[in-house]
Chain A
């Protein structure tokens, strides 16, 4: 049987070593005592320094456009609206006075595309189900606001971001998306036309 109190003392050695590891001088002392120290400073002083997030880090979705903001990939098919688990997406297709869908760049487009980010749970299912690679996850996270209705409801204007931005925040994923888009385009271009 060990001496009573030796367990507590052994525990205190651990806390003392961890204490020393959080200081430069402490690490020097530990090295002198031949105890290999680790860098005990693990806290990130948040507003002053920011954590480096992984490329896949996701927050809220955004809409991708190519070149100009009116050339967005979204065709207002409403698949994401239907599949969104907490149902936070609301889309209406742009239509003319007779109720026929309007087109821009040969595609239909949404007149209204709202995401209520106070409901959104960042699950990325909208990205998974979109057949047009039109919606992607943003990694901007400093979005606090004082008003739930005005500031937490992201409208189309706020959600639109360029393909260049997507490439900048997620180079790896954007490359895969570009490959998929190219593969989708390619067969249409190479299909031989039926003889006239």
Chain B
């Protein structure tokens, strides 16, 4: 909306107002700051300010062994520790040519899909919190999330900082009865999704707040390198699980849900549909988990003695379809036990670059839900 069209009587003095949203505000999902310039309640300029949670992750990674970076990747996007581990494991495998145990491949794909359920469930809860549905949807989401985190704890020893996936497979096999528990949870998940959808999808208030708000045009999404559910909500069929076909995904049948408008509502609904597809993938994967070791012998050897792993000179880029988008790890080896360069392509950060384009012309209240629908975790934005 052009700010000059706002109806103002000639005798009213108008001036633009600068407002800081954040960094200490729960609606910014962490320590993120938006310098908004307002005309009345309308956004005419918005400058994202990042870096409050910068922890020097990449530089630390260049001073320690490849394996020692795994616990730090847990803390990138702390909602999705398992898939962060997975991305780094893929990059290290490419770099060092490490074979993967088949059971380990299944287990970590199962973990990655469970992570997607955790992330999308939680982010929808947070989005509704941002819309003003204070508490109820978020707590329903967290109730379900907790059940999956219990599974993570049983397998890896920690609910959120899992540090479980390793190059060549996973750190250790899942405990007795874990797969049956996971199957029970996954089979019960559609019931929760139905309930969640009954609460939200047709809700008139949600639709009023979210439809035609923060529209991300298809061309802008592509040219700004937006990935993940946000890109697919704008109608671009791009899913790295299909494009790259890594891990077990080529053997699973699943669809890539696409949005049409690219507004906040589409981003919400694409995530719901993605969870339903994840449930399908999980059901197929849990049925097909083979026996055998959970980690290849070379992977186990470098996990036990990280300094013996000296990959040949060269570079590798490993990427996965993380719940937030394309999560890539770029490693450069100079033949020593430590990476020469360690770079992360963080989906939260790159998806955030279009924030101003989404917000211009909307009201302050809409900015909060647009940010919520982008789905950022500041641990990953700032690294």
Contact = CB atoms under 8 A, between A and B. Distances in A.
Given A8-B203, A11-B199, A121 B161 contact: yes
Given A4-B204, A6-B202, A123 B305 contact: no
Interface string A89-105: 00000000000000000
Among A122, A128, A172, the most chain B Cβ lie within 10 Å of the Cβ of: A128
B150 interface: yes
Contacts of A8: 203-205
Contact of B136 (A7, A15, A124, A172): A15
Contact of B157 (A11, A42, A85, A137): A137
Contacts of A185: none
A57 B202 contact: no
A15 B68 CA distance: 45
Given A7-B204, A13-B198, A58-B158, A125 B67 contact: yes
A63 B204 CA distance: 59
Contacts, number: 86
A18 interface: yes
A45 to B, nearest CB: 15
B351 interface: no
A57 B157 contact: yes
Given A11-B199, A18-B140, A124 B204 contact: no
B327 to A, nearest CB: 20
Interface stretch (A23-31, A48-56, A70-78): A48-56
Contact of B71 (A54, A121, A172): A121
A122 B158 contact: yes
Interface residues of A, number: 32
B128 to A, nearest CB: 11
A56 B157 contact: yes
B50 to A, nearest CB: 23
A83 interface: yes
Interface string B142-164: 01001000100111111001010
B342 interface: no
Nearest to B154: A54
B146 A42 contact: yes
Interface string A130-155: 01000001000000000000000000
B303 interface: yes
Given A7-B207, A122-B161, A14 B195 contact: yes
B199 A15 contact: yes
Contacts of B150: 54
A128 B64 CA distance: 16
A123 B160 CA distance: 11
A57 B155 CA distance: 9
A128 B158 contact: no
B202 A2 contact: yes
Contacts of A82: 307
A119 interface: no
Interface in A148-196: 172
A106 interface: no
A47 interface: no
B70 interface: yes
B68 A83 contact: yes
A10 interface: yes
Interface string B36-55: 00000000000000000000
A129 interface: yes
Contact of B175 (A4, A53, A172): A172
16 contacts: A5-B204, A7-B206, A10-B198, A11-B199, A11-B200, A54-B150, A54-B154, A55-B175, A56-B155, A56-B175, A58-B158, A82-B307, A125-B68, A128-B303, A129-B306, A131-B304
Interface of B: 64-65, 67-72, 74-75, 136, 140, 143, 146, 150, 153-158, 161, 163, 171, 175, 195, 198-207, 303-307
Given A14-B195, A129-B304, 4 more contacts: A11-B199, A83-B65, A125-B67, A128-B171
Interface of A: 2, 4-8, 10-11, 13-15, 18, 42, 53-58, 82-83, 85, 121-125, 128-129, 131, 137, 172
